[in-house]
Amino acid sequence: MSIFVETSDVLPLVDLEIALGVGSLQDPAGQEGLAQLTGHLMRRGPRGLSQERFEDRLASLGARLSVQVSMRSTRVRATVLRRHLEPLLDLLAGVIWQPALRARDFAKLKRQARAALIARLDDDETLGALCYREALFGEHPYSRGLSGNAQSLGRIGVRQVKDFYARHIANGAFVIGVAGDVTESEARALVASYFPRIGRRKRKSSDVPPTRVRRGRHVVIVDKPERTQTQLFIGTLGARTRDRNLFPLIVSNTAFGGTFSGTLMQQIRAVRGWSYGAYSRLLHSRQRDAWYMWTAPAAEYSADCAALQLDLLEHWVEGGIKKAELRFAQRYLINSHCFDRDTPSKRLEARLDVELLGIPPSYVEKYDQLVARVTRKQANEATRARISHRDLTIVAVATASDVASSFERLPGVKSLEVVPFDRG
């Protein structure tokens, strides 16, 4: 059976997770946000219980429950007092196999989803991150936002949710994790009694086409009135999960922009004071995911800040990192990794990621060794192989009339597009 257990008797609590390999990648074109709506509607409870009664049952058990949908997975997570583990398993079985999926609950949920889209327009950093992925990936599924947009939500009704549930969840494969005050034998016996069908379904991996680099430097200004601060994202494609360059690139990126001592933070914040934060992030997935730099300079310095970032990026890619920077990054990654595994639930999460997302087990079991083995030559070669300083997507949330001309003059810019922030 696909059951994973992490035992700890430190607290009389048990964490449960039911993980399905279904996420926004399964959203039909034009119905972005469907996977998330489906997961959140399942959270309203099983058939036979109103949402109010379902919440009362959870409260009486001292339990909390959440459903989180990502690009590649849906995670039903719960925490409960040990003595109430069995009643919670019974409720969870209903949520997974007999969700109510009521039209009146869906109507409320859809109103909330639309309100969240409107509220998102007020968060410049979130808006910039979403627009960056759209600009970087174009028509590729990786560009899809989890919450969809106003147009896609308008195409989704409760019938589409029920169809999505029947196609991808009701007969789909899943794994279960249990962490906390329960022995492995107890956990397996309890899970088997409430989830007897587990392990009988074959998990299918999603066929995701390769991502493609857009040649040249392309600027998108997300035009928003009266911005005194610019949210700035500059990046390109990064790495795949199963990529021999992944760990060398993780180390190299950490040295460049992953810590307060990194080149990016020092040059932009410490030396010039242009942005309170300055970091670079490396994402990885089945296909090459995004790598990007983020800063938030004042509007008057935004083009200068972008130009400096381009110079720092070119120097990093062409010149690489120094030996001292390599050693610092390795120590930082190894020392901070202990916080990713210091509780049973965190260790469980890592094991579920391996099983569900196709992450190699060595990434979890030998993380410290894989980081420590990276040489300076490997780190620099991986950076040159995967990070392009010529092919870049540059997204700025700003007032276009204030910054467009200066961004157009950045070196190597091939195109500049201005889009309204509320285009939907």
pLDDT tens track for 301-323: 999 999 999 999 999 999 999 99
Q: Which of 194, 209, 231 is the last residue of a domain?
A: 194
Domain count for the chain: 2
CATH number of the domain to which 265 belongs: 3.30.830.10
Residue 152 reports pLDDT greater than 90: yes
CA-angle at 383, arms to 380 and 384, nearest 5°? 90
- 222 and 89 fall within a common domain: no
- 112 and 183 fall within a common domain: yes
- 312 and 189 fall within a common domain: no
Give the whole-angstrom CA distance, residue 125 versus residue 46: 37
Q: With respect to residue 313, please indicate whether it lies within any of the assigned structural domains.
A: yes
Token pair of 47, please? Answer: 């058939």
Give the whole-angstrom CA distance, residue 280 versus residue 283: 10
Task: Let me know: does 397 contact 222? Beta carbons within 8 Å.
Answer: yes
Give the whole-angstrom CA distance, residue 282 versus residue 170: 34
- Under DSSP, the state recorded for 46 is B
Instruction: Decide: pTM greater than 0.85.
Output: yes
- 275 and 363 fall within a common domain: yes
Q: With respect to residue 99, please indicate whether it lies within any of the assigned structural domains.
A: yes
pLDDT tens track for 197-214: 654 455 555 679 999 999
Contacts of 311 (CB under 8 A, 6+ apart): none
Q: With respect to residue 212, please indicate whether it lies within any of the assigned structural domains.
A: no
- 175 and 286 fall within a common domain: no
pLDDT tens track for 52-93: 999 999 999 999 999 999 999 999 999 999 999 999 999 999
Task: Let me know: does 245 contact 291? Beta carbons within 8 Å.
Answer: no
**Helix or strand holding residue 110 (H, E):** helix 103-120
What pLDDT score was predicted for residue 373? 98
| Residues paired with residue 66 on neighbouring β-strands, in sequence order | 77
Q: With respect to residue 201, please indicate whether it lies within any of the assigned structural domains.
A: no
- 175 and 256 fall within a common domain: no
What domain range includes position 36? 3-194
- 51 and 171 fall within a common domain: yes
Q: Which stretch, 168-177, 341-350, 373-382, has highest mean pLDDT?
A: 373-382
Position 56, amino acid: D
What pLDDT score was predicted for residue 172? 82
Q: With respect to residue 207, please indicate whether it lies within any of the assigned structural domains.
A: no
- In angstroms, what CA-CA distances link 99 with 16, 54, 85, 91, 382? 18, 11, 20, 10, 47
- 228 and 323 fall within a common domain: yes
Q: With respect to residue 108, please indicate whether it lies within any of the assigned structural domains.
A: yes
Q: With respect to residue 203, please indicate whether it lies within any of the assigned structural domains.
A: no
- 187 and 230 fall within a common domain: no
Task: Let me know: does 235 contact 290? Beta carbons within 8 Å.
Answer: yes
- 153 and 238 fall within a common domain: no
Q: To which residue do tokens 């889009």 refer?
A: 419
- 325 and 286 fall within a common domain: yes
How many C-beta atoms surround the C-beta of residue 30 within 10 A? 12
Q: Which of 179, 194, 209 is the last residue of a domain?
A: 194
Q: With respect to residue 208, please indicate whether it lies within any of the assigned structural domains.
A: no
Full DSSP string of 195-236: -TTTT-S-------PPP-PPPSEEEEEEE-TT-SB-EEEEEE
Q: Sorting pLDDT into bands at 50, 70 and 90, what band is 30?
A: very high
Q: List phi, psi (to 5°) of 7.
A: -95, 135
Token pair of 211, please? Answer: 């991502």
Q: What percentage of the chain reaches a pLDDT higher than 90?
A: 92
- 226 and 182 fall within a common domain: no
Q: Which of 159, 194, 229 is the last residue of a domain?
A: 194
